[in-house]
Amino acid sequence: MTTETIESFSELGLSENILKAVTEMGFEKPSPIQAQGIPAVMQGSDVIGQAQTGTGKTAAFGIPVLERIDPTNNAVQAVILCPTRELAVQVSEEIGRLAKYLRGVRIEAIYGGDSIDRQIRSLKKGVHIVVGTPGRVMDHMERKTLRFDQVRMMVLDEADEMLDMGFREDIESILADMPEDRQTILFSATMSKPIMSITKRFQTDPILIKVVRNELTNVNIEQVYFEVKPQAKVEVMTRLIDMHHLKSLLVFCNTKRKVDEIVEDLQLRGYASEGIHGDLRQQQRSNVMSKFKAGVTTILVATDVAARGIDVSGLDGVINYDIPLDEEYYVHRIGRTGRAGMSGKAFSLVARDEKYRLKSIEGYTKVKIEKGVIPSFEDIIGVRKARFVESISSSIKEEEDQDFYNDVLEMLHHSGFTTEQVVGAMAKQIMGVQKNEYSDGNLAWEERRGDRDGGRREGGDRFERRSSGGSRFERGGDRGGDRRGADRYAPAGRSDSRRSEGGGRDGDSRKPSAVEAGMTRLFLSLGRKDHIMPKDIVGAIAGEANIPGKTIGAIDIYDKFTFVDVPERDARAVLRAMDGNTIKGKPVQIDIAK
């Protein structure tokens, strides 16, 4: 059996209880990294997985780890190292969901910034799987509150990031402290020299897993993406459907559960939609398909697997409600439209944390996907009005016998309504405009002020934290102005005015904005020239000084140096931990900003 032919998790020889959890999570088909990685890890081999976040890599190692834990043995049997506390939390949560039906398996996330005493108490009670950041895991190892003598599996997640953040020595000490016959699994987006030297030293005959790709995209399809908040995706989708008058449309999502949710939401909004996924019986599938082909339903919502088996032509478009986990799925999805020389539209709704997946699709397909502007409420009203007028005019022109309908009008006149009132009420009903729960400004995750200002906003980029409350900062505004001043990153929820105060525009000489009360501004001797990103700074400071990433404030990155705001009470600890330390392998000097 080749991995391309693996169509379901049940073919991977997993236990009932894991399959149940996977089904409940809505996963329909193993992603490529899972199809190849799960069997390799299950057979006990050391594995190198070349995969980024978003490919389903957590389950690729999480499932086999769970399969190999003996819950009757109270010792730590698997250790998963992650570069940041956010990833450690995400990974432990995902494994927790996969372990839902396994009795007695205990998973603990161990990271800096959390109370060490609480962690020690948890570890004493007995934990089977530890998911942690290298600094804190080392700390426990040295205190002997974490023992590795019964560890059978070790996972290095985002190993390249960990090395970039200067965790190499910690990783090596941890690995050296583990039983030699343990299984070592390493995931990394890149296969750099330092990664290869780690694998050489600590892995035995590792199997390299990399997804092979061999398809090219259909370049005739109009491909556009929209930056949309996750909760506004259905709203934006309906606006696009209205705006482009899409009458025959396939909507793709990554999970069966999402299919059901979206169909319900679309139906409530009055859109004729139905869903298909692997849970439907053959008879139900046929019903859904014949209604779609007959045009009774205009929107078919599907998972990738379900869509593969269906034969539809003449679609107006495809909407990617989620960005797929694998680039090739994207190619399959959009290939559903624009067939036989017809034009087709492929719209992708991209949440903030899906953006990098879109970028890798662009890299893979070598096609630039244009950024689209979400139609405004006014735009939608405008097109609906135009269509209403058009359909009424053509109905009048049909010149059929109107007597029956005239009776209706007369009846309404008798009830005291004027013709204007009747027409107004009918227009309201037919146009179906409902009070809109989303204001136009509440749909996109990126502030669109730059667009309105003609894209020339002064100051730097604003990055916001992920909704999960981590220390990852993300860009929240359009890049404006030149690149000589600071790139400014501010955590979500902090004063908006900070952005417009932005870094200087004339090079490194200008002063950044005022420091927020309770914060101390620190000076770091690394900057844009050193290719550092906010996540590198937050990861290093949070990890090394054991402070929560979310307490770190604004970051202004200049060419040769950076200002970062940290809580006053932690400033000393940060100075101690960071001075002379490295970020992304580069030595850094740190001081209180003058």
Point out which residues bind ligand AMP (CB under 6 A). 27, 29-31, 34, 53-59, 94, 254-255, 325
Write down the least CB distance from residue 22 to ligand AMP, Å.
8
Rounded distance between C-alpha atoms, residue 186 and residue 418, angstroms = 75
Write down the least CB distance from residue 115 to ligand AMP, Å.
27
Write down the least CB distance from residue 95 to ligand AMP, Å.
10
Nearer to ligand AMP, 179 or 309 (CB): 309
Nearer to ligand AMP, 57 or 457 (CB): 57
330 C-beta neighbours (distance < 10 Å), count = 28
What would the two tokens of residue 126 be? 């007995």
CB-based contact 574:522 (threshold 8 Å): yes
- Helix/strand/coil percentages in the chain, nearest 5: 40, 15, 45
Write down the least CB distance from residue 254 to ligand AMP, Å.
4
Write down the least CB distance from residue 54 to ligand AMP, Å.
5
Nearer to ligand AMP, 74 or 255 (CB): 255
Nearer to ligand AMP, 29 or 457 (CB): 29
Q: Where are the beta strands (DSSP E) in 73-214?
A: 78-81, 107-110, 129-132, 153-156, 183-188, 207-209
What would the two tokens of residue 84 be? 């940041």
Distance (Å) of CA 493 to CA 90, 237, 464, 496, 499: 21, 27, 8, 8, 12
Nearer to ligand AMP, 57 or 168 (CB): 57
Closest CA to 186 of 157, 210, 165, 164: 157
Write down the least CB distance from residue 19 to ligand AMP, Å.
12
Q: Which helix (H) or strand (E) holds 237?
A: helix 233-243
Q: Which residues contact 117 (CB under 8 A, 6 or more apart)?
A: none
Nearer to ligand AMP, 53 or 74 (CB): 53
CB-based contact 535:468 (threshold 8 Å): no
Distance (Å) of CA 589 to CA 355, 521, 549, 575, 583: 33, 14, 20, 9, 10
Nearer to ligand AMP, 351 or 571 (CB): 351
Nearer to ligand AMP, 258 or 584 (CB): 258
Nearer to ligand AMP, 45 or 53 (CB): 53
Write down the least CB distance from residue 467 to ligand AMP, Å.
13
Write down the least CB distance from residue 570 to ligand AMP, Å.
30
Q: What are phi and psi of 173, to 5 degrees?
A: -65, -40
CB-based contact 251:264 (threshold 8 Å): no
Write down the least CB distance from residue 162 to ligand AMP, Å.
16
DSSP string spanning 168-198?
HHHHHHHHHTS-TT-EEEEEES---HHHHHH
